[in-house]
Structure 1
């Protein structure tokens, strides 16, 4: 039976999570399709095909709220085609659509999936308590399995035929009077946080006045800048910087945690990084428990020295 992947689009491209989910979908079924909200350009559709999409259902919601319209359209398509599984990512539109669709078709949603199997019933594994424990849950009864996957749970790998059939889906009327009046894309310099090979993340220990040190270090390393929830809640940086359970999940080659204590909610969003370097003056900080390299010292001393050393080498 078929496995479908949901994706929102950005400037004609699918989400990075969609390519990860497609890679997993190929291991679950020989029949893989994508439901894309928005517009896909040739390169975007090509990326989906290269990662396994054989069919693309494309719906442009225009100024309508995307999730209500997508849920209605998906309900119709699911009743017609009967896929076994529909995968969603962690983006807002994905989660909103999954919840609305669940209510419409009376099927549960299992969220934060890190592994999926369908040898018998569809079985989903997700991690709790910062990855200390795993919960394994199976779907029962007939009907589609709706699954929200955790960011970076799967690695995107090309493997499709490179060809696909695109079907345009008419946007259904939802009866919702609210419309999209403006779209704001936050501008940022440097690599994308979720795609960066190196991430420099700052916590409350860095301090608001010295948080610019994170930008300076990141510039020297060609890294993206992240932050703990405490920093975001304090208003030092935008939410788009937040790494952790309620922010972004990152999996860079190198993660440098500066002045971050290592609360479970933060660790869950970066623990799978290749090499974790922690800088903290508290030698008892939990972050050292997962760090590959730990530096016990004041970030206000260590980071400037590191920046100076990098500048001297350039």
Structure 2
């Protein structure tokens, strides 16, 4: 029994979400291999080889793999898939774009967004916005699986000494073309990796107020900024701030929800946070039912007072 993890990388380093996929793969009980598909990606392959628990790294290096186009990367996965009983990726946009194509070509059912490995053929995953955990047993010869990163500890990035094996790169699938990439840059921590998150909802009132009230608190705590779907739909912040079922799934050490009512869609994305603090003027807001600490009051007064108390 051998599992293959599809590495998410930038051709130089491996992203943190891949480390949690390695942890999930290792819990199936066999060897874990990592596929690095890219261009001039030797550094990324070397980083993957240092991950604890990885026994082999496959490096497919070709210009057509440089930008991680899903159609071509999926063909690369299929080219080596016959050697594996399990194929894993993180449940990020990257993994969600590639593995459904792989599952379809292999004619197997994908196991999406798993949060626990019970055995080599049995896994747990959330359904109904996380209100129910389904236990799924797969009889497919190859299990194709995406992993919810917040549900597993990251494998140590150092300590491994896997061999790197070059594999033949597939030809360009010719179905898509890379045009451009716009990357948002911020001095704040990445939302899905942050230990502290300050999120705002519709109750914040406006984009200007979101910045004026929440940014000082986030700056003081060294936190990432997030938002509910209502705040994103209202145009307070860009959609990459969104936390929730249709946004990003987070599980920080501290989650501060400001002016967020606590709709099911939002709770599905943050209820695994270690400590949840809610600030809201509505005593009946559902967010208080999941909060470890609740502050009932006007956020425009409460948040600045909190910032002042933090010194």
Normalising by structure 2, report the TM-score: 0.91
Whether contact under 8 Å (1:66, 1:93) holds in the other structure is no
1:93-242 matches, within 5 Å, as 93-118=94-119, 122-141=121-140, 143-158=141-156, 162-208=160-206, 209-212=208-211, 213-242=213-242
For residues 57-88 of structure 1, give each alpha carbon's deviation from its aligned partner in whole angstroms, at most 9, with x where no partner exists.
22344456621112112112112x1x111112
Q: How far did 1:197 drift?
A: 1.6
1:1-314 matches, within 5 Å, as 1-10=1-10, 12-38=12-38, 40=41, 42=43, 45-46=46-47, 48-60=49-61, 61-62=64-65, 66-79=69-82, 81=83, 83-118=84-119, 122-141=121-140, 143-158=141-156, 162-208=160-206, 209-212=208-211, 213-310=213-310, 313=311
Q: How far did 1:56 drift?
A: 1.4
SS at match of 2:257: strand
Structure 2 CA distance for aligned equivalents of residues 7 and 268 of structure 1 = 26
Whether contact under 8 Å (1:64, 1:178) holds in the other structure is no
SS at match of 1:244: coil
Whether contact under 8 Å (1:201, 1:258) holds in the other structure is yes
Structure 2 CA distance for aligned equivalents of residues 293 and 184 of structure 1 = 38
Normalising by structure 1, report the TM-score: 0.90
Q: How far did 1:171 drift?
A: 3.3
For residues 116-145 of structure 1, give each alpha carbon's deviation from its aligned partner in whole angstroms, at most 9, with x where no partner exists.
2335xx11211123433111111124x210
Whether contact under 8 Å (2:226, 2:241) holds in the other structure is yes
Q: How far did 1:41 drift?
A: 5.6
Q: How far did 1:110 drift?
A: 1.3
Which moved further from structure 2: 177-186 or 274-283? 177-186
Whether contact under 8 Å (1:244, 1:270) holds in the other structure is yes
Whether contact under 8 Å (1:3, 1:29) holds in the other structure is no
Which moved further from structure 2: 36-45 or 248-257? 36-45
Q: How far did 1:256 drift?
A: 0.3
Whether contact under 8 Å (2:59, 2:166) holds in the other structure is yes
Structure 1 CA distance for aligned equivalents of residues 245 and 15 of structure 2 = 19
* Pair 1:29–1:91, CA change in 2 (3 A): same
Would you say how many aligned residue pairs link Structure 1 and Structure 2? 306
Q: How far did 1:47 drift?
A: 5.3
SS at match of 2:170: coil
Whether contact under 8 Å (1:7, 1:94) holds in the other structure is no
SS at match of 2:291: coil
Structure 1 CA distance for aligned equivalents of residues 176 and 47 of structure 2 = 33
Which moved further from structure 2: 166-175 or 291-300? 166-175
Whether contact under 8 Å (1:8, 1:14) holds in the other structure is yes
Whether contact under 8 Å (1:124, 1:138) holds in the other structure is yes
Structure 1 CA distance for aligned equivalents of residues 66 and 161 of structure 2 = 30
Whether contact under 8 Å (2:71, 2:173) holds in the other structure is no
